[in-house]
Amino acid sequence: MDLVIRNATLTDGSQHVDIAVKAGRIAAIGPALPVRGAQEIDAGGDLVTPPFVDAHFHMDATLSYGLPRVNASGTLLEGIALWGELKPHLTQQALIDRALQYCDWAVARGLLAIRSHVDICDDRLLAVEALLHVKKQVAPYLDVQLVAFPQDGLLRSATALANLKRAIAMGVDVVGGIPHFERTMADGAESVKILCEFAAEKGLRVDMHCDESDDPMSRHIETLAYHAQRLGMQGRVAGSHLTSMHSMDNYYVSKLLPLIRESGVAAIANPLINITLQGHHDTYPKRRGMTRVPEMLAAGIDVAFGHDCVMDPWYSLGSADMLEVAHMGLHVAQMTGQDAMRECFRAVTETPARILGLEGYGLEIGCHADFVVLDAADPIEAIRLRAARRFVIRRGKVVSRAASVRAQLDLPGRAAEVDFRLGR
Ligand SMILES: [Zn+2]
């Protein structure tokens, strides 16, 4: 075997598991495997999981914090205006450099697949070219899936539809949209129809920024679900943000959720961003703005958590840490029960992998040998500690390693060291 990981704990709670890797795929998995590896890693009972997956990100804007200025109001609309100020000054090389730096951070955090939206409203399509280049360059260690995103509105911007089609022809994978930003509700609905029909014709997936608003009447998710169902696109369509659902009438939501379930549309919440960008027009009580995560899960709808932004016109913090995203999602949605916390871990691993349609993702024989060894005993402890990624493994090769977090104490009569883990 090329690699054997010994004494792993898996997310389902099974312990003392060995994982053997040959030619980049999982060849065997079970207790005390009688095989030798060219390389062996002792997990020491720590959690070994398939890598983190980010279902929603903007790699063209990332790490541009402060260019040309920072977002003073902290609102979505000032962020969009600020991005508009930055766009004419973007160079392809600067876009590539920032994206590659972010990909380094992602790998170090065990984040090995990212769906990134790319703004197609700049007629030069500089960002599209830059991110297609990055996608190819990082492919050996990180899967990037690109979404053609009409930031300024598909119908509101004169060249957006033509640019979107050009971007798809250049190799962008997924059709995006932003119906709540069109001039009218009717235009928003029309944009959803145009985009879904285009995607269906091309056999592409759809992922729209949908209802990123506190307006309870923003109901484009209904239209998205309708067209996904009508066009037979079940399992290939996602609605990102869906924050208006936070403010919707409960009766309407009781009708809406079964329609989303029937349409096979997945939901992608972005907890760090939703909690900071929404609710700005409120005094008190101040809305949280995140969509109805536990209710959608209970209705059988796939829900993933995305990072959305790191150090860009919309968000000044972040470091590609999907455990931080899960941590925030868990708090904002009050998902503090044992099962609910495990669901938050799935929302940054297997659920987004399903939404992206990643081939060979998982811990089964034949899957890609992509793993993270976390400094934690289980998914809940991993979220609590935003655990160190002891080893990040891609196709059977270690691509990043980090020391466990320890503090040396100097206290009379107390332990010499703490690692913040229970029962050790
Ligand atoms: Zn976004």
Q: How far apart are the CA of 118 and the centre of ligand 1, in A?
A: 10
Q: How far apart are the CA of 386 and the centre of ligand 1, in A?
A: 23
Mean local confidence (pLDDT), 87-110: 95
Long-range contacts of the stretch 95-100 (C-beta < 8 A, 24+): 95/60, 95/126, 95/127, 95/130, 95/131, 96/130, 96/133, 96/134, 98/62, 98/63, 98/64, 99/59, 99/60, 99/62, 99/130, 99/131, 99/134, 100/134, 100/137, 100/138
Buried b (16+ CB within 10 A) or exposed e, 23-37: ebbbbebeeebeeeb
Q: How far apart are the CA of 29 and the centre of ligand 1, in A?
A: 38
Q: Which of 40, 85, 212, 364 is catalytic?
A: 212
Q: How far apart are the CA of 241 and the centre of ligand 1, in A?
A: 8
pLDDT digits (tens, 9 = 90+) for 121-170: 999 999 999 999 999 999 999 999 999 999 999 999 999 999 999 999 99
Q: How far apart are the CA of 22 and the centre of ligand 1, in A?
A: 38
Q: How far apart are the CA of 392 and the centre of ligand 1, in A?
A: 26
pLDDT band at 68 (very low <50, low <70, confident <90, very high): confident
The answer to whether 167 and 118 have CB atoms below 8 angstroms apart is yes
pLDDT band at 31 (very low <50, low <70, confident <90, very high): very high
* Catalytic-residue membership of 212: yes
pLDDT band at 423 (very low <50, low <70, confident <90, very high): confident
Percent above pLDDT 70 for the chain: 100
